[in-house]
Chains A and B, each alone.
Chain A
């Protein structure tokens, strides 16, 4: 069988190898001609409606640029968990009714189950995985959870911690009642609320001292 030399047909600066490296395996549409030949793709160019979205996007998650193939109906929680491997964000109700999926978008708490991933392009997403410092030391809120032994089963924990970080960054010295109100968008089925509030009061103190 004669050797067949395979030459690079794409001159857009995106080689096949880099393209494949850049896309997380699950859901990657590698075979799609539209993506492969983007650089020389004048003949494949289709007129797009204003506001049309592409599936291959770059997200800023925990300070990193992550390239990911995102379906149009995909929620941020789904992308974080199943495409980016960031399973610290939990799905409790998938209906914006429990808070387990809380993440920070531009430092503001949101229910990641109820926002399209396509809506957070160009915004800063911060999850529980992005709280600890590079040297491994914990965020003041995380340290407070450890010190106060907050949470029981801890399924709600990551959502509460993200809500607390977002809230305490805006109000650094809340009363217990204000804190309860600030965290009111998170539920705990273990009913650990009293201990959680104590934990987050400690967290506020840690943040004031940091």
Chain B
């Protein structure tokens, strides 16, 4: 329950109109600068006074980062495109419905009208100890408050823990992974493109970051190849309330089915690890198999193999198993 205080702490604000101006500002101000997209992640930090950047670079004025365009080989989505636009875009709806479904379940209508798809994928974890300003590993300290025998960790990870047990809270991330999206970003050395599943990093790579972006980098575009356009999609998000809440666990899958045989599949889940997990073992298990109850059951079992629950999140194991099973079955 947040404490309402007075205004946010003072910061210098820049609203550049181009990516070049934005990156120049980030270079100029270095570690004093904070990048803001829709603001729905940033303001929580500022209002709680946990983070007090001297400079905020607001990307909201960069028109070239907004919009969805069809390309020769798929779709290109600007990182600053609001989620509502992603949900409602006819091309996304018709051919890449998985992303439309996922984006439609994020937070609440007003947040979707302002929050961006780039921000949804670059957002920080919501571990309440971390967000409350406790100096844990992720905050540069030497302890994890969520991974103790008395911690409140019902929303934390069952996979991928490496000192930090927080989870990635994004709903569009697993959908982008299932669609084999590419993340395009600007660095000091020019433009780089990585597969969506490589955009997210775990604590073993850098415990203080959720994504591959380093300070000064900017996510500019998300490219979705037409490979999985029109495939059979399944998305489900399980959360405490039907609105606002981040996923406890969610699943996104894209499958090519001919007759009753699964020719190929891509399956990803989130809310289970510090990064969205692409379930390669599940994909290998179902490829070539028939889309049957037995295959779905097997997929679920394979998915949760190796899970290591914490004190309060053991429920995530059957939850993840059942969500993966449903996604292979193609229905709830």
Contacts and interface: CB of A to CB of B under 8 A. Distances in A.
B114 to A, nearest CB: 6
A93 B108 CA distance: 15
B111 A96 contact: yes
Given A71-B10, A78-B7, A185 B57 contact: no
Interface stretch (B37-45, B66-74, B144-152, B190-198): B37-45
Interface stretch (B14-22, B91-99, B158-166, B311-319): B14-22
A49 B10 contact: no
B8 A51 contact: no
Given A78-B7, A91-B4, A119 B58 contact: yes
Contacts of B108: 96, 99, 184-185
Nearest to A108: B113
Secondary structure of the A side of the interface?
loop
B288 interface: no
A49 B25 CA distance: 8
**Most interface-central of A51, A72, A75 (chain B CB within 10 A):** A51
A116 interface: yes
Contact of A185 (B11, B28, B43, B110): B110
A156 to B, nearest CB: 13
Interface string A99-114: 1001000001111001
Contacts of B113: 108-110
A73 B242 contact: no
Contact of B11 (A73, A108, A114, A163): A73
Contacts of B107: 96
B214 to A, nearest CB: 21
A72 B11 contact: yes
Nearest to B61: A51
B15 A119 contact: yes
Contacts of B90: none
B10 A73 contact: yes
Most central of B7, B12, B109 by chain A CB within 10 Å = B109
Q: Which of A111, A114, A163 has the most CB of B within 10 A?
A: A114
Nearest to B12: A72
Contact of A50 (B4, B21, B39): B21
A206 B16 CA distance: 43
B16 A184 contact: no
B110 A73 contact: no
Contacts of B9: 73
Contacts of B39: 114-116, 119
Interface in A78-93: 78, 91, 93
Contact of B4 (A93, A96, A108, A109): A93
Give chain B's interface residue range (CB within 8 Å of chain A). Answer: 35 or more
A52 interface: yes
B10 A51 contact: no
A75 B36 CA distance: 14
Given A51-B22, A94-B47, A96-B40, A111 B111 contact: yes
A73 B7 contact: yes
Contact of B109 (A49, A94, A167): A167
Contacts of A75: 7-8, 43
Contacts of A110: 110, 113-114
B16 A50 contact: yes
B5 to A, nearest CB: 8
B243 interface: yes
A53 B111 CA distance: 25
Contact of A97 (B61, B242, B244): B244
B194 to A, nearest CB: 27
Interface in B95-128: 107-111, 113-114
Interface of B: 2, 4, 7-18, 21-22, 24-25, 28, 39-40, 43-44, 46-47, 56-58, 60-61, 84, 107-111, 113-114, 242-244
State the 6 A-B residue pairs at the shortest beta-carbon distance, nearest first: A51-B16, A185-B108, A72-B13, A51-B14, A50-B21, A184-B243
